[in-house]
Structure 1
């Protein structure tokens, strides 16, 4: 051993002990070059490469070391044993991670076999005796993999497709259809950024190959306002390009929503825009723009607009039922989405509803009006009164500081008051002047005249060119303008015309409103609580984004009219669609956001056209993350679909429960168990803007895979994943109403996280070792699941309990389903960790169905219901009914997790994922066919229950009533030193020589 080589090795050892594996490997490589005759240097190199997850180079280094030992292996039997075990492990993980190919194994088969054979025959010596059990286990694992090596290539994509079909969320006990027909976001043009977070997309700076890959996703797309704005933004950018770049320009917009009624509504709007581009007749164009406005934000509409909308609905049905669909060349509807959309169109085409009843159900929720204090609780009322007191004081300060002439101009001092008396008039009448000012300028905003009109009649003022068609409207409008209110006669005349001639906006009526089971207590009319003029004001703000009034607030003038703002917006959008007709595609896709994006990620989106993008330049997710486990789900299932470009990103806001969180850190921690700065190191994602509780969250992917030195350590990773796992299988309770936090991730999502983390750069064996402990049936840890109410405080991060062994056996059967489904696509080798009775065949996992009856009925009436059937809280319990009843598990699950011995392992299990749940009628789930056949010999039953309150939802169903309904488609976490007697790296250090 040369002196230089020895010194290099020692430096490498120091770096190895410091967990700097890549740097250690570079010193071992230098040592090997300095002394190529010693097997120690390539052996140490292979140890560092293995720890770094570089399995291909590890195998090569092992075989170089073996070549030097081959002539006299008995001289260093312990080194031979280490090399042999390391080789088998590296081969297993390398093949699983697709780093080692079948061809490479074939090419080096002779060397691999010789090392294995020699290690088998040689006795180990000294303190580092070869652990025979480990040796046998890892080589048995490799032999098993090698015998089926081709399947890892041939079946990988099928397994990924199968995994993409597994539900990542717990189901609700009953399916609720949410229909948010009229949006409330300010208008967002994704080429400009996100709300108050400007981030202009420099399209002109893109190379030509990138110009043809512009792609934007909107999920859920909602009423499509951001799509239309982005089309306008793309058109503006297109006009600035050179002719050569214009020829390369292509843009794709995916309009994704889980609600088919929402997409049907958007398609009607798009066809109306197409119709607008098909005529030059001024009156017809005005009618079409009015129809667009009333469809977009109106509760009811004039008869001529209703006829146009009804015609469009019929035309859209005809177009979608044609083969292929007869749509404008820039519009595409994914075939699988068409049947549900047609169902909604058929519902609208036959709908007969009363205009007066529709308006009775419409509550104008103007932000310019004070809220209904009768609905407030004591604390909320106290805060409101304090706010109004402060608002009045601020108004008084403003009035004191304003010039008298300005106060006359804005209408709070009458013009008849002489100039010398104006200041005295103000001081003498301060309280009434404050009242007048706050009526004219509520909360510092200008109240448009149309707001007063809408409060009287609850309809949008028709465009001036069409107003003469409406008896009494001209007189009513002039009176509103001059007197700021309507007398009884004018109001009655206008309302009589509206109730007798106008028609309801049928696109606001989702089918669920006519279904008493899904909308109990309803009368077939939707609750229309909306500030429709706020949307008009947002559109006006967007229209003047580049003009002299661009920086003025949304409601800056009393003369803003919805018809003028909407008319200009739809004119610009239609012109943009016409100009970009052969340069743009709008794709309509019905489905869950993360489910559809993950299918794209694993190329299981077979219903989409092959040329459609799977990665996007920018995404707007609205507040969908509020319902689907927040940024944890977004990072794992959405971020991989963002293009690898510095300008690419996704954004979302928080609306459903923003008041629940103390701050942004608590928001991110509740869902991810990390703070925003930690997300980069743990999850390989950059949080560009974390201010989700006050603005929007903006995230972008980092280049993957990340260097191991920039990621969490193995102990940190295990601690975090332990917390994630424990809080997945035993989720905490949540508050009610607007403070309800939705955390529906199940074990499928946990596995999805592991697959994602491998792509981030974590070595396969790190993830495998973690799963092996779980699959053993118990885990030693000082971490406990959160048992409070969400949101989860940051103090929970540091909470530890006395180390103990917790049970994971209740969830092993579900892990069997997941592992068997994804087996050949798993990027880590579990062959040696899987229990003997586990299936490894994806074809063995099938869907079972049962007819169920409710054990109790859950109220669907109030958002403040602590046990709503619409909460994503369903777990399924399977148990030996001859040994126990459901309460023995459901009521004591926390104690069972903590180590309670009874009920015994193997006598019950839990599924956190379900294919379908309707607790009053039927449930579907996936299980191994082979396992169910074995269970039939015993008295197994199944019930559904809530995973937070423990309420049993269904009557037990015995196994003889389960039916096969579909074949298959295709001691851990101790982060503090001293808590564990033996750390991962202490084991790794023994690999050095």
Structure 2
């Protein structure tokens, strides 16, 4: 449409010109014309009515209400008054001003639409009245509601030694931010190699005189495994003692710190001398963590996490080593090294263009690597190695010929097996005891010599090529120096938990441990005094550890609310891909080109040709760079070769790129609605997949993702009535859209570009859960939802059910949902061939009348629930009015999979489901 931009001076012409702009979608440009028109004709309600409509469409609801009131004061035409009054009441709902909305609705005629609006507003008011503590409600939603479907075998795997090339999150460009504190976050901290690389970068800057002395450093490390954090704390304390040795080489030698860390970090078994040292450190750390009056230098370990850490440390004192004894660990090392070598050779045959150099031992370590691979024993070259390595072992290594390993006399292994001890930090008993019977032995999946090669690749070439210990010791020495350089102005904050929970806690200010702790007179700062312990060993003196007497004060009231850089590792592979990165990490990232969040894809990089393909799958078709800016305010850092093979396995950096809230800078209403419906369908009815596949693409998100996404989009600038309209359609049980449930894996561009016919599709199987989730979160959302289908929050009840038997078959992927269903209405075909066909109401779904009835009346799918493995108990949330209306003698509850869409457990009758009462009044947990 061609718009005449010639200015007019009379009110009618200005308003007419404004209407043309409005119809052309240039609403921001129409508003000044309506304002001028109203000024020129102060008694004319028309420009004011137009102005209220324009503000409404832009999502500026307070301004729309003001204009509506001004128009209503002048309007006499009842039909027009009703229209403006209805707009005003909706604006008040979207602005969360429910009391004013209910008053405004009193002047609106009582048609069906108005009755639905009244019901929606009254339910919201009832919910608000039920909330006594808004902060607690928001915190509980973040902490209690899972973001992903559960696993049946839901104890997370324990990865001891990582595979990353160590990389620092700090570089000098961060000094340009102008902030006094540099804040970094490591998610999935693992073995801390990237944290240590960051320490090393501090040293490199200091050695050049370029490390700023006026900057403080806050580093948050997070992992969902308490064992990981326990191990990293232990290692950090010992590195701190190495830092205290300074440049005193003799002191380093006498302390045995470097060889202790060498075996602790890399080896499944260790000489008894170092095991004694390790156990003394563990015992000391237990004493420190048990005493709430003690704090460790540079480390902040919140009280809330200490019980879980202490449990692990106590297991490492005796139980872990006794259950996984030396011989078992050593033989498993040999087996897995042979297995990994064979796997590598197969990979090289399949991908001959890939380089094998990354897997070769560094120069000078060839003999050690061959000896380790054949015996499971990691040797060392060290000035005092004769103090700790048995004579038989020293002789065997001297005689070993890597070219003829079978000639080695292995009788020395009896001595090793009798005297060496298991490295207990390689064992997480919770993980081991919850594995499949066929995988009972611990996973020793790392190659110490690959780590040596990685150190060499980042410049850690030891001055003398004496073996792996030299590379490792060279690295550790400079890591310790870097720690020394910033120790007085560094805090490393430890967190245990799911990273998406932690990030969301940070965003809303609900991190449970981030409260100021007063420093009392005489309060001490704990110090893992391993230099004293090590010198005791060197003198063969096993005297008791003395409690340290060092005082210090950590200021605990200045935790970062945003970070300069966030390292996510490949965690997004398992929690929703780029959706998780964009929705959780980016909002707590500072804007600016120096700041970024980084992640890579290691689970299935061959499945995605480019980053665009990756985003296309995980964001349900939203993948162009400009669309990502419009929806998530993110920009990918340029990559030199974006089409390189397996490019996703390299780290990708994402920057925050705030955009204008003007509608012209955002996706259109048609685009956003189509995308949201497609995203909903992709989460609700994911594509059928193989249960076991080496490059399996996870589809883990539950329906809370839709609620969180809409809250995010509102903050970006999308009008509430757009988002509310989508949510209401889903709640109603029917959506009319051109979007379809996914038909390809991964999602293809051909599918999303296809213009499907407009089709009414059923959301009935998911509406009960979705309306329950909205009732629980409605009071914390930044905008109001106009839906009569959302019940007041007190109707959202917590239920639980104990299943008699739940098979562990392929149980370690997040694909499980609860299904309540009518045993009379669900066709037997669903049990035999999969339920998905009966959830689909598009062209590919069941078109039979029986299928329609089952879909619309006989199935309730619950994707948001918790699984308590030991008790075999499922906990879920559902609206009480719907649950009680079901016939408990003919309705069943089962666990189903969303990969094969087959039943995993059950069915059991609903009669044994326990109603634990309203969620809002249930006892909140401490976090």
Shorter-chain TM-score range: 0.7 to 0.9
Contact 2:154-2:869 within 8 A present in 1 as well: yes
What's the C-alpha RMSD, in Å, of the aligned pairs? 3.6
Aligned-residue offset at 1:78: 3.5
Question: In the alignment, what sits opposite 1:822?
Answer: 777
Moved more, 764-773 or 494-503: 494-503
Aligned-residue offset at 1:285: 5.5
Aligned-residue offset at 1:273: 1.8
CA 1:490–1:446 in 2, change beyond 3 Å: closer, same or farther?
closer
Question: In the alignment, what sits opposite 1:805?
Answer: 760
Question: In the alignment, what sits opposite 1:467?
Answer: 385
Quote the Cα distance in structure 1 between the aligned partners of 2:360 and 2:860: 59
Quote the Cα distance in structure 2 between the aligned partners of 1:474 and 1:313: 29
Contact 1:2-1:35 within 8 A present in 2 as well: no
Quote the Cα distance in structure 1 between the aligned partners of 2:283 and 2:443: 26
Question: In the alignment, what sits opposite 2:224?
Answer: 258
The 3-state SS of whatever aligns with 1:530 is: coil
1:274 is the counterpart of 2:244? no
Aligned-residue offset at 1:954: 1.5
Contact 1:363-1:528 within 8 A present in 2 as well: no
Contact 1:252-1:587 within 8 A present in 2 as well: yes
Match of 2:470 among 533, 548, 564: 564
Contact 2:703-2:863 within 8 A present in 1 as well: yes
Quote the Cα distance in structure 2 between the aligned partners of 1:663 and 1:629: 17
TM (norm. structure 2) is 0.83
The superposition leaves residues 240-299 of structure 1 with CA deviations (integer Å, 9 ceiling, x where unpaired) of: 8899x734x222111111111111111110121233345566255651111112111223
1:585 is the counterpart of 2:552? no
Question: In the alignment, what sits opposite 1:733?
Answer: 688
Quote the Cα distance in structure 2 between the aligned partners of 1:768 and 1:514: 46
Contact 2:635-2:655 within 8 A present in 1 as well: yes
Aligned-residue offset at 1:50: 0.8
The superposition leaves residues 642-671 of structure 1 with CA deviations (integer Å, 9 ceiling, x where unpaired) of: 123442210011111112223322211111
Contact 2:218-2:493 within 8 A present in 1 as well: yes
Question: In the alignment, what sits opposite 1:347?
Answer: 315
Quote the Cα distance in structure 2 between the aligned partners of 1:206 and 1:241: 19
Match of 1:28 among 30, 34, 42: 34
Contact 1:276-1:285 within 8 A present in 2 as well: no
Question: In the alignment, what sits opposite 1:974?
Answer: none
Question: In the alignment, what sits opposite 1:521?
Answer: 438
The superposition leaves residues 726-758 of structure 1 with CA deviations (integer Å, 9 ceiling, x where unpaired) of: 111101133543311111001111211111111
Match of 1:216 among 162, 171, 184: 184
Match of 1:167 among 146, 171, 176: 146
Question: In the alignment, what sits opposite 1:322?
Answer: 291
Contact 1:250-1:584 within 8 A present in 2 as well: yes
The structure with the larger Rg is 1
The 3-state SS of whatever aligns with 1:693 is: helix
Aligned-residue offset at 1:824: 1.0
Question: In the alignment, what sits opposite 2:903?
Answer: 952
Aligned-residue offset at 1:704: 6.4
Contact 1:649-1:699 within 8 A present in 2 as well: yes
1:229 is the counterpart of 2:197? yes
Counterpart mapping for 1:43-192 below 5 A = 43-67=49-73, 69=74, 73-74=75-76, 76-95=77-96, 132-135=111-114, 137-138=116-117, 141=120, 156-164=134-142, 165-192=144-171
1:684 is the counterpart of 2:662? no
CA 1:29–1:253 in 2, change beyond 3 Å: closer, same or farther?
same
Question: In the alignment, what sits opposite 1:362?
Answer: 333
Contact 1:456-1:486 within 8 A present in 2 as well: no
Counterpart mapping for 1:387-398 below 5 A = 387=353
Match of 1:202 among 156, 174, 190: 174
Aligned-residue offset at 1:467: 2.7
Aligned-residue offset at 1:474: 6.5
Quote the Cα distance in structure 2 between the aligned partners of 1:321 and 1:936: 52
Q: How many residues align?
A: 844
Counterpart mapping for 1:409-428 below 5 A = none
Quote the Cα distance in structure 2 between the aligned partners of 1:5 and 1:174: 70
The superposition leaves residues 698-722 of structure 1 with CA deviations (integer Å, 9 ceiling, x where unpaired) of: 1122336733211110100111111
The 3-state SS of whatever aligns with 1:623 is: coil
The superposition leaves residues 129-170 of structure 1 with CA deviations (integer Å, 9 ceiling, x where unpaired) of: xx944455446655776x669759975434322321211111
Contact 2:22-2:30 within 8 A present in 1 as well: yes
Aligned-residue offset at 1:942: 0.8
Question: In the alignment, what sits opposite 2:423?
Answer: 505
The superposition leaves residues 883-910 of structure 1 with CA deviations (integer Å, 9 ceiling, x where unpaired) of: 5578658845433430742126444311
CA 1:874–1:450 in 2, change beyond 3 Å: closer, same or farther?
same
Question: In the alignment, what sits opposite 2:365?
Answer: 450
1:782 is the counterpart of 2:788? no
Contact 1:8-1:28 within 8 A present in 2 as well: yes
Aligned-residue offset at 1:3: 4.5
The 3-state SS of whatever aligns with 2:512 is: coil
Question: In the alignment, what sits opposite 1:897?
Answer: 840
Question: In the alignment, what sits opposite 1:312?
Answer: 281
Contact 2:15-2:47 within 8 A present in 1 as well: yes
CA 1:462–1:795 in 2, change beyond 3 Å: closer, same or farther?
same
The 3-state SS of whatever aligns with 2:260 is: helix
CA 1:558–1:784 in 2, change beyond 3 Å: closer, same or farther?
farther
Contact 1:12-1:23 within 8 A present in 2 as well: yes
TM (norm. structure 1) is 0.78
Match of 1:845 among 775, 796, 804: 796
Counterpart mapping for 1:748-767 below 5 A = 748-767=704-723
The 3-state SS of whatever aligns with 2:135 is: helix
Quote the Cα distance in structure 2 between the aligned partners of 1:758 and 1:10: 31
Counterpart mapping for 1:524-539 below 5 A = 525-539=441-455
Aligned-residue offset at 1:237: 5.1
Quote the Cα distance in structure 2 between the aligned partners of 1:641 and 1:711: 21
CA 1:309–1:705 in 2, change beyond 3 Å: closer, same or farther?
farther
Contact 1:365-1:531 within 8 A present in 2 as well: no
Counterpart mapping for 1:331-730 below 5 A = 331-350=299-318, 351-352=321-322, 353-363=324-334, 371-372=341-342, 376=346, 383-384=350-351, 387=353, 448-457=363-372, 458-469=376-387, 470=389, 471=391, 485=403, 492=410, 495=413, 498-512=416-430, 514-515=432-433, 517-523=434-440, 525-542=441-458, 544=460, 559=465, 561-609=467-515, 611=557, 612-673=559-620, 674-677=622-625, 678-689=627-638, 693-703=648-658, 706-730=661-685
Question: In the alignment, what sits opposite 1:410?
Answer: none
Aligned-residue offset at 1:231: 2.8
The 3-state SS of whatever aligns with 1:627 is: helix
CA 1:902–1:487 in 2, change beyond 3 Å: closer, same or farther?
closer
CA 1:644–1:154 in 2, change beyond 3 Å: closer, same or farther?
farther
Contact 2:220-2:492 within 8 A present in 1 as well: yes
Moved more, 468-477 or 20-29: 468-477
Quote the Cα distance in structure 1 between the aligned partners of 2:253 and 2:916: 54
Aligned-residue offset at 1:852: 0.7
